[in-house]
Amino acid sequence: MAKIKKQKKSGMLRRQKQKRHNKMILRRKTMPKRKPQQQNSAQIEQLLNALPTLAFEPELVDFRMDKSKLMELIENDIPEPNILMELLTEEFISELDQRLAKLEEEHSEKSIKHGLASATRHQLAESSKKTHLSNPVIVAIFLKTLSSLEGRELDLAGLPLAMKEFEQKNYEYFKQLTDEIQSGEKDESVSVEDNENHDETKLEKRISPLDEEVLKNFLDLLPEEKLERTEEDLEVFLADFQPPSLKEWEVSMIKHFFEDWFVENANPLKEDLDSMRESLLGLFKFLDREKLLPKDFFEQACVVLEK
């Protein structure tokens, strides 16, 4: 089977992702805080209570952690959270994901079990090993393995009490873990904002081939629904690609940017190519009308971009 090439992450793509992330944070901050309805809170609590029961579904009922390793760790008198951390190997996470995927397939998309399995898989894929410690499904599998090692089998009826005892016993550890995760998210948010400001400062220091007023006049002509995407496209062309001054623009430069540089650095989809084409043609048409482009550049550039 042919190897799938890993996409490159250019500074352009990271910056655009950071911008979208910052805008999302700002939107959340400015949204009015609404009091959640009691019914919704009850539904959420019901779903959270149902999560660990996935460990007793047919696809996971026989699934256990490494018993021999668990016994060795218990004999060394290691705290439970640290034991659990040691047992969260790549092999375990991989097999858990496969079993959850089978569980998803067995239930319709509208079913609660499908949703819980899907949410658990997403959490496994997106979070760190440390965060897995508070995953109810993983804790339930750990408790099943521990009970089995002690010569008794944990069943669905005894699960709630076992989960409660585990949480109470390790309350301080998980409280500290939660604080660390929340602090990390806060630091990441500040870091993203700092990086964004740093990027913007660097961009301002670059010498753009277009006068700021000229670019503003062009952007002012655009409809609101096209403004943001056009700004992003032109930022890629003017700031990341950094073409020479206007009087040095040649069709070969546009051909190189659109057919080589943009494809190599941005891994664009068809819609990205179409958007970039439209943004460049719009800019060139405006510059040509203002008599700022070299002679015949606009006509030749149109041939390159529209073919």
Average pLDDT over residues 28-41: 44
Same domain, 123 and 222: no
Judge whether residue 70 has pLDDT over 90: yes
User: Which of 134, 164, 181 finishes a domain?
Assistant: 181
Q: Angle at which helices 171-205 and 159-169 pack, to 10 degrees?
A: 70
Confidence of residue 302 (pLDDT cuts 50, 70, 90): very high
In a domain, 219, yes or no: yes
CATH code for the domain of 258: 1.10.150
In a domain, 13, yes or no: no
Quick one: 221 and 174 in the same domain? no
Q: Is the pLDDT of residue 257 over 50?
A: yes
Q: How confident is the model at residue 10 (pLDDT cuts 50, 70, 90)?
A: very low
More confidently predicted of 251 and 186: 251
What's the average model confidence in pLDDT over 240-252?
A: 89
216 lies in the same domain as 281? yes
Domain check: are 155 and 234 in the same one?
no
Is 228 part of any domain?
Answer: yes
**Is the same domain home to 156 and 252?**
no
Single out the residue in 136, 158, 181 at which a domain terminates: 181
Predicted confidence at residue 132, as pLDDT, reads: 82
Q: Do 63 and 127 reside in the same domain of the chain? A: yes
Identify the burial level of 150 via C-beta atoms within 10 angstroms of its C-beta, where 0-12 means exposed, 13-18 middle and 19 or more buried: exposed
Q: Is the pTM of this model over 0.85?
A: no
> Is there a domain that residue 249 lies in?
yes
Residue-range definition of the domain harbouring residue 289: 212-306
Does residue 59 sit in the same domain as residue 170? yes
| Distances, alpha carbon 182 to alpha carbons 49, 75, 152, 178, 249, in Å | 23, 33, 37, 6, 50
203 vs 145: which has the higher pLDDT:
145
Q: Could you give the percent of the chain with pLDDT greater than 90?
A: 40
- The answer to the question of residue 260 being in a domain is yes
Of 153-162, 199-208, 251-260, 295-304, which gets the smallest average pLDDT? 199-208
Q: Which of 13-27, 138-152, 282-296 has the lowest mean pLDDT?
A: 13-27
Contacts of 230 (CB under 8 A, 6+ apart): 219, 222, 278, 279, 282
Residue 24, in any domain of the structure: no
Q: Would 25 be classed as within a structural domain?
A: no
Average pLDDT over residues 71-94: 91
Instruction: Quote the pLDDT of residue 12.
Output: 55
* Tally of structural domains, the chain: 2
Instruction: Quickly tell me which residue has 């460990």 as its tokens.
Output: 55
Mean pLDDT of the chain: 80
Each residue's pLDDT tens digit, 101-142 = 999 999 998 888 988 998 889 888 877 777 788 789 999 999
For residues 230 and 282, membership in a common domain is answered with yes
pLDDT at 35: 44
What is the tens place of the pLDDT at every residue in 198-232? 555 544 445 567 888 999 999 999 999 999 999 99
pLDDT given at position 263: 84
Within a domain: residue 261?
Answer: yes
Share of the chain above pLDDT 70, in %: 75
Q: Do 175 and 251 share a domain, yes or no?
A: no
